[in-house]
Amino acid sequence: MNLQHPPPGRYPPRPHPLALLLLFAIAFVLTTMAALATGTPAGTLISNTAQASYSVGASSLSKSSNTSTFAVAELINVNVVSQDGGNVGVVPGTDDQYLTFTVTNTGNGDESFTLSADSAIAGDDFDPTLVGIFADTNGDGQYTPGVDLAVPGGVVDLAADAGVTLFVVNNIPSTLPDGVTPIADGQTGTTSVSITSNTGSGALGTLIPNGGDGGTIDAIIGSSGGLPATTDATYTATSISLDVAKTAVIVDPYGGSTPIPGATVTYSLVVTVSGSGTAVGLTITDPIPANTTYKPGSLTLDGVGLSDGAGNDDGEATGSPVNLITVRLGDMTAGSKTITFAVVID
């Protein structure tokens, strides 16, 4: 029997490293980033020349004006947006729990930004232990330790309009800052992410002479709240546990319960979720035992039959001969569901 994690890319699986049957998950809202048109690139020369035509007597004459020219200044603007769609559920005492952010250069020039993170801020219940800021090196939208690499110095260089996904990774303590009291369900720990431009910082409208691309044009802070700017993201402690109890009832061809060839074994899998939070994208699979044959049409979920075929409902019996049953339970909060299927002993 296997507990399958959701398919990669659909939900961020964050398995508890210690207990197979302990899961947590949190609804993940994929915030699509609006396509931003940040405007005319910094340094672009905007020129204008007017023409006049006129006549003097019978003569037609024309005149061009001088050419007025200015260079577009550089707008320094950046958006840091949490992609977690809400607080991130974590189990106390687990490592490498990550917050997902996108950083987008919404200015009109090439810009270098520095990010920093602070997990020891006031106003929350526990203090996550900051591991670092990591890039989504393999581009899968999920933090994978050892694969997704740390961002040196927190520095990201972004062309105008360009964006990047970053993970702020923390280890979650098992106790409150007093070092004694265990973290309870629903308690929170916040990480504050700060970003500034390496060109300069200051309030909205701050002028950085010759700070623009190439050093010949002025740069202006365009972030509405000025730079550095901070964005918070919060973990919420949760303790969701999943238990699967499997039982078997044998009926032999002679009215008894002896496991002999021809006897029918009906398995029941009782899946119980307890604790707070939601187990997201839960799928139960169970291989057909050796030396038995799946009894066609015997798969049920909470007493309702599921067809053996794939794709038409939440369950199927697959293989030829059938060697695996799969039931997709979807998102489950506290409660239980029962799966049954039957095999005949060969």
Q: Is 174 exposed, middle or buried (0-12, 13-18, 19+ CB in 10 A)?
A: middle
Strand 163-171, strand 207-208: pairing: unpaired
Task: Give Dmax over CA atoms of the chain in angstroms.
Answer: 125
- Joined together, the tokens standing for residue 92 give 């106390």
Q: Which is nearer to other proteins, 70 or 254 (CB)?
A: 70
Residue 100 or 105 with smaller CB distance to other proteins: 105
Query: CB 158: neighbour CB atoms within 10 A?
Result: 19
Compare residues 46 and 304 and give the one whose CB is closer to other proteins: 46
Distance CA 82, CA 102 (A): 7
Q: Which residues bind other proteins (CB under 8 A)?
A: 38-40, 44, 46-61, 63-68, 70, 72-73, 75, 108, 207, 218, 220, 222
Cis peptide before 228 (omega within 30 of 0): yes
Q: State in angstroms the smallest separation of the CB of 85 from other proteins.
A: 30
Contacts of 321 (CB under 8 A, 6+ apart): 288, 293, 294
Nearer to other proteins, 185 or 213 (CB): 213
- Nearest CB to other proteins, comparing residues 56 and 180: 56
The CB-of-60 to other proteins minimum distance in angstroms stands at 8
Strands 74-76 and 219-221: parallel
The least distance separating other proteins from the CB of residue 162, rounded to whole angstroms, comes to 16
Q: Minimum distance from CB of 67 to other proteins (Å)?
A: 7
> Considering the complex, what minimum distance in angstroms separates the CB of residue 157 from other proteins?
21
Nearer to other proteins, 107 or 281 (CB): 107
Cβ 315 to other proteins, closest distance in Å? 50
Contact 277/16 with Cβ under 8 angstroms? no
